[in-house]
Amino acid sequence: MKKRQIHLVPQFHHDVEYVLPMEPYLEICFENLLAAHELLSKHPSYAFLVEQVFLLERFFEEYPSLRKSFRRYSEEGRLEASPATYTMGDLNMPSGESFIRQVLTGRRWCGPAATKPAPRSFWISAETLFATK
């Protein structure tokens, strides 16, 4: 039997303005990204996943000096933006155009930005699958 290696990759989920206004959420997200940066810098085997490009964009506006190290972690395969959409889409009410625009905008940003998209980890809801049939 072929042995397989399993990676548990920490990440956090962020619903923009779900319960709180955006600014308090961004503070929480920035704290998470700062903690991830510290762990990435101290532990060479640590990896981290960010769900939305929007968070990285805002984070780098506040912490531009960390962009270079985040890019390095991305190039090392230890930091990924996945599914590399701009924001987490509300797929309970699917719109093909909205979904594609989220993907295109997020992946366009990932090109020159700190991380690369991770096409192998892509979320999609049952509603979206039904809507595309």
- 31-68 pLDDT per residue, tens: 999 999 999 999 998 888 887 888 888 999 999 999 99
d(CA 6, CA 22): 35
74-126 pLDDT, tens digit each: 888 888 876 667 777 666 666 777 777 777 777 777 765 444 444 444 444 44
Q: What is the DSSP letter of 117?
A: B
Question: Domains of the chain (ranges plus CATH)?
Answer: 20-131 (3.20.110.10)
pTM above 0.85, yes or no: no
Task: State the Cα torsion 31-18-104-98 to the nearest 10°.
Answer: 180
